[in-house]
Amino acid sequence: MIPFSPPKIYPELIDEIVNVLKSGWITTGPRTKQFEKDITNYCENKATLCLNSATAGLEIMLRWYGVKKGDEVIVPVYTYCASANVVVHCGATPILVDVENDFNISLDAIKKAITPKTKVIIPVDFSGFPCNYDEINELVNLPEIKKLFVPNTEEQKKLNRILVLSDAAHSFGATYKGKKTGTLTDASVFSFHAVKNLTTAEGGAIALNLPDVFDNKEIYNTLCIKSLHGQNKDALAKTQKGNWRYDIVEAGFKYNMSDLHAALGLIELKYYEKETLPARKHIFDYYTKEFSNHAWAEIPAYETENKTSSYHVYALRIKNISESQRDLIIQKIFDKDVSVNVHFQPLPILSFYKKLGYDIKNYPVAFNNYSREISLPVFYGITAEQLKTVTNVVISSVEEVLKNA
């Protein structure tokens, strides 16, 4: 069976985990702080906080911005549930909007969804391909849009507009007009979950890049405390001589990253630009070259004049097929021992969101994208032979289904 996306375990990762275990310090400490600095250097954003997941990062940013019951947060329907679940956690309402043919949030749909209750927009860089951030940032800064904004908290008064919080779970290392994700919006959240491009097994980070009315370092400190029970000193600071006493300033969360996880991230980041991204690009280019010869194949966008993807998900679409034909193709592919996936089931087809009243009929582009989509294996170390097998298996499976249509 050719797997979908196994992690790459460098020997150096194993050595480094042993080093951490031997160091006597395994939770949040020097390695987490170093990983944060390295991410900031890599992305060139203003400050970075590492956490135990992207979900934690999204939620803590919504909490920081004071999002609560009665507020609305605009989220694309075409995403993993995490992007909307966090809005529900805060008691606010996710306003799900449709996407474009490239799978990313539609600017027109955002415009139609903005109301005086809108506090945040969470664009998702699907498959690692950045959204149209100039247009989104311009929109939230338009005088007529700012006039609608009703600030309720200190932070909301200071920004005085809708916060743009990008779900960059897929797009670490992607670029938009020459700038890396992490710098493209007020804040971006990365995921280092096991299937993501850069992994710490479980983990995530908030890349802060708020405008200069905010002190991003100070917000980093605030978020640090928020992510550790509202405790004003972390475990490492408490080990300093006589420094045992701490205070709790709010009922915070428990979202910190451990040094064991950060150790993995430090090594992964070291090879990310030089090895990981080129290896993934090579796989994308291979699939594109092979499938371009087939009239039924719709090739995903991953490099354009203004954008380069992080090559996270190769989202192949088959032209003019139904959802059940797609499912049949997937079954045939699995029967030939190749693992594929679907990214994503739009939220309204999942029972929780359906029960809340969201109806897939209102999201025709998302449904069309989803019903024809098959994500192909992309992982470091996939061999030339495996790539050939995947391609042949996909082609034969599609053609068998099309022939019998």
Ligand X SMILES: *Cc1c(COP(=O)(O)O)cnc(C)c1O
Cβ 170 to ligand X shortest distance, Å: 6
Report the DSSP beta bridge partners of residue 49: 206
Q: Which is nearer to ligand X, 150 or 201 (CB)?
A: 201
- State yes or no: residue 227 binds ligand X (CB under 6 A): no
**Residue 397 is which amino acid?**
S
**Residue 326 is which amino acid?**
R
Among 79, 181, 197, 199, contact with ligand X (rule: CB under 6 A): 79
Determine the interface stretch with ligand X among 80-88, 220-228, 296-304, 355-363 (rule: CB under 6 A).
80-88
- State yes or no: residue 200 binds ligand X (CB under 6 A): no
Cβ 204 to ligand X shortest distance, Å: 4
# residues near ligand X by CB under 6 A: 14
- State yes or no: residue 83 binds ligand X (CB under 6 A): yes
The answer to whether 99 touches 122, Cβ cutoff 8 Å, is no
What is the spatial distance between Cα 396 and Cα 385, in angstroms, rounded to a whole number? 16
Among 45, 175, 191, 197, contact with ligand X (rule: CB under 6 A): 191
- Locate 105 and state its tokens: 């949030």
Among 47, 67, 82, 139, contact with ligand X (rule: CB under 6 A): 82
Provide DSSP, 216-285.
HHHHHHHHHHHTBTTBSS-HHHHTSTT-----B-S---B-BPPHHHHHHHHHHHHHIIIIIHHHHHHHHH
Q: Which is nearer to ligand X, 28 or 55 (CB)?
A: 55
- State yes or no: residue 53 binds ligand X (CB under 6 A): yes
Sites for ligand X among residues 54-73 (CB under 6 A)? 54-55
- Burial (0-12, 13-18, 19+ Cβ within 10 Å), 15: exposed
- State yes or no: residue 193 binds ligand X (CB under 6 A): yes
List the x/- string, 314-333, binding to ligand X by CB under 6 A. --------------------
- State yes or no: residue 204 binds ligand X (CB under 6 A): yes
Cβ 292 to ligand X shortest distance, Å: 27
Report DSSP state, residue 127: G
What is the spatial distance between Cα 72 and Cα 209, in angstroms, rounded to a whole number? 22
Cβ 125 to ligand X shortest distance, Å: 8
**Residue 109 is which amino acid?**
A
- Burial (0-12, 13-18, 19+ Cβ within 10 Å), 327: middle
Sites for ligand X among residues 111-170 (CB under 6 A)? 124, 167, 169-170
Cβ 160 to ligand X shortest distance, Å: 28
Side by side, which strands form the sheet with 297-298? 297-298, 314-318, 373-376
- State yes or no: residue 261 binds ligand X (CB under 6 A): no
Residues engaged in binding ligand X (CB under 6 A): 53-55, 79-80, 82-83, 124, 167, 169-170, 191, 193, 204
